Amino acid sequence: MMLHISGVLTKAQVAQCRQVLDAAQWIDGNVTSGQQSAHAKRNQQLPEGSPAARAAGDAIQDALGRHPLFFSAALPLKVFPPLFNRYAGGDAFGTHVDNAIRQLRGTDFRIRSDLSATLFLEAPEAYDGGELCVEDTFGVHRTKLPAGDMVLYPASSLHRVAPVTRGVRVASFFWIQSMVRDDSARALLFQLDGDVQRLAAEKGSNDPVVVSLTGVYHNLLRRWAQA
């Protein structure tokens, strides 16, 4: 399941993050590449754990914690601290799949990457190219979102970033280990949660059908969750 999550960061929050990021020192993006992606990747990245990455990453994690749609869709157990990349002058990232396990350098913190996330930090009209292209059984989905918006997709997907031919593409990327490992089960729970919320808004949270369906949701979550 791919999902566009709007307004993770406000315009003011995007501006604050960019002020921090634009003043930071960037390095070759291959510092976080696996063996496969190192041959396909050409971009710049902030060093993991740098003061700028920590400051901007903390702001993003705080915003995610307040975003109900993110929680409903991802059912997060662990979130890898956000990383940041920059593409310009023909930079691109060829087709690859993300590593199944991500470990934070110098620590014992690691996650299973169930979901990948890209949070856009530059207005789409400010650069040409740079679309995130995600492949699934229905074909290739090309995504280029407003600054502050995020796309969430299965980390098992083949994906790439198209060459940036004008301007600069700046984004945050990170991974989520979900309480519900299976993507299809997570998608069913997301659909059910949305339907229950809409029904509750129409009939009230104490309506017998709403109460019953809420119970179904939590019982399915209880069956599938690994918390």
Domains and CATH numbers, the chain: 3-178 (2.60.120.620), 183-224 (4.10.860)
Residue 88 near residue 130 (C-beta atoms within 8 A): no
Return the DSSP state at 81: P
pTM over the 0.95 mark: no
**Close Cβ partners of 49 (under 8 Å, ≥ 6 residues apart):** 81, 104, 105, 106
Which pLDDT score is estimated for 219?
A: 98
Instruction: Give the separation between CA 72 and CA 74, rounded to whole angstroms.
Output: 6
Instruction: Give the separation between CA 28 and CA 45, rounded to whole angstroms.
Output: 6
Tens place of pLDDT for every residue, the chain, 227 residues? 899 999 999 999 999 999 999 999 999 987 655 555 556 789 999 999 899 999 999 999 999 999 999 999 999 999 999 999 999 999 999 999 999 999 998 899 999 999 999 999 999 999 999 999 999 989 999 999 999 999 999 999 999 999 999 999 999 999 999 999 999 999 999 999 999 999 999 999 999 999 999 999 999 999 999 98
> Which H or E run includes 143?
strand 139-143
Residue 182 near residue 224 (C-beta atoms within 8 A): yes
Which pLDDT score is estimated for 40?
A: 79
Nearest to 83 by CA among 50, 108, 107: 50
Nearest to 21 by CA among 64, 63, 50: 50
Residue 122 near residue 147 (C-beta atoms within 8 A): yes
